[in-house]
Structure 1
Amino acid sequence: MNIRINFSFDQRQGFWPVRGILERMAEKVNETQGAAFAFFPISLVVAEILNNSIQHGMTFKSAGQLRVRHLSCQNCIEITLIDTGCAYHPPKMPSGTDPLNPSESGYGWMILFQLCTRIQYRHKSGRNLLRLCLPINAP
């Protein structure tokens, strides 16, 4: 599986682009992996990073690319989000995992840290690059 979805965001659209991106991704995963593939963890991670990117990083009009691919050698799904928004704040990833006391970034990052085995982020040349590794056996 090697999926690439290009997208653009205009603040007048609100969060609707996320739903459209998830629907396109679901179609492509179904085409390549079949309906029995565990799509829920992938969609949860993708929805969280897209919503976070749009809410906190995107400028009035921004563009980006979502990549989802199966790394069989590592038994994981690699999810990459590249966008032209502002750098994420805080620049270091939060480490809180207590559901009763989330970090200042909230529950979103906590969910990502619990589901993903690797999270990498960098901002370079006006672009954000967020790469996550989701184990195939994620709940």
Structure 2
Amino acid sequence: MPATYLSIGQLSHRSGVPISTLHFYERKGLIASERNAANHRIYRRELLRRVTIVKVAQRAGLTLAEIAKALSHLPMDTVPNTAEWARLADIWHDDLTRRIETLTALRDKMAICIGCGCLSVERCALANPDDRLGKEGPGARYIPDMSI
């Protein structure tokens, strides 16, 4: 039978996340430890999935604040059930879809910007596709955050 708890070294080894990062995640409330009789931090095995989700979400460009907010809907002391995982997916769905669309546009339209020299927000296929901002009326318009 597998151990119910992992030491911080075991959690680090199995997740591929440095111990210092696990301590950081704990300070941010992404994971939680318990203490054994020797007052050492120990972690429930279930946290391996949380750590993996944090790593993948960070790689996808989500901030730790966004990740923490979404994970706050999941139990810390048990493996999330199917409905709880689905709720997490729903929370991130629209934002991830928007990010994918932004990255796809950047990938596919970046070449037209090189040497373009248009300096025109009206015609820019990246910052204002199909002159979306112009449809809001005359005058200066807010340009959506294009950071990735």
Q: Flag the structure with more relative contact order, 1 or 2, with Cα contacts below 8 A and sequence separation at least 6.
A: 1
TM-score, normalised with respect to structure 1: 0.30
TM value normalised by structure 2: 0.29
More helix by share: 2
More strand by share: 1
